[in-house]
Amino acid sequence: MAAEKPFVLNACFTLKPERRDEYLAIIAEDKKQTLATEPLATVFVCGEDATTPNKFHLHEEYIGQEGFDAHGKMPHFKPWADFVETDPFAEGGGIVAGFYYGTHEAAKLAADAPASRCAHAEYCVKAEFKDEFLKLAEETREECGKDESCARFVYGEDKDTPNTFHLFRAFDGQESYEAYTGSDQFKKWKAFSEKEPLTKAPVLSSYVV
């Protein structure tokens, strides 16, 4: 029997400034309990946007959608669910989420992994460029596995929207994040983008864990 694929959530939202501290306390406890008590939860990364104050990002990975569904039934999830119902978001800053099955093997991100700067990208790829995109993404994942500054690189096609892809990369710090923009791998992505392979501009974000 084939192993369950990782089921991945990427989400972002912007909070009212006065709700910030409450959120940080809730999400810290949710993360702690999720990784400590849920056998199907493998990764839980949360952080604040690098350029927009009070905008937050989440990256979570579970073993199969079963793991994600189970998370929503846990007692430590309830404070977050209750928080969402109290109008905590800034105008226009409600939750934007994407779900996908990763191509990688499900594995826990070590608690002491040096992931302090993360990046997320969403690409809507033209059908005729899909194979080339997937080849480049897989090559990037393999290169990340050889790079000590890359704590994680995962990608996958959106669960509900064909040819929409999500990519997540965790770096061991700001210096590594900046160094990546001068790497050969980054140059390959830039060359790919010059072929106009997307149906609309990509959604790019980075955040501090």
pLDDT at 114: 54
Share of the chain above pLDDT 70, in %: 95
Distances (CA, A) of 133 to 103, 145, 156: 14, 19, 11
Structure tokens at 162: 């064909």
Residue 178 has pLDDT above 90, yes or no: no
Domain-wise residue ranges, the chain = 6-208
Query: What's the rounded mean pLDDT across residues 52-63?
Result: 97
- The residue among 121, 118, 113, 122 whose CA lies nearest residue 207 is 118
Q: Tell whether the torsion through CA atoms of 110, 113, 119 and 123 is positive or negative.
A: negative
Backbone angles phi, psi at 131, to 5 degrees: -65, -40
Rounded to whole angstroms, the Cα distance separating 167 from 132 reads 15
Across 169-181, average pLDDT? 86
pLDDT band at 110 (very low <50, low <70, confident <90, very high): low
Lowest mean pLDDT among 19-28, 37-46, 170-179: 170-179
Mark out the alpha helices in 3-106 (DSSP H runs): 20-37, 64-71, 78-84
Short-list 22, 46, 23, 20, CA closest to 34: 46
CA count, 13 A, side-chain hemisphere, 132 = 14
pTM over 0.85: yes
For β-strands 117-124 and 164-171, DSSP reports them as antiparallel
pLDDT per residue over 130-141, tens digit each? 999 999 999 999
| CATH code that applies to domain 6-208 | 3.30.70.100
Distances (CA, A) of 62 to 87, 92, 107, 195: 28, 29, 9, 34
pLDDT of residue 19: 99
Edge-first strand order for the sheet with 203-208 is 96-101, 6-14, 55-63, 41-49, 203-208, 117-124, 164-171, 150-157
pLDDT at residue 111 tops 80: no
Q: What pLDDT score was predicted for residue 1?
A: 40
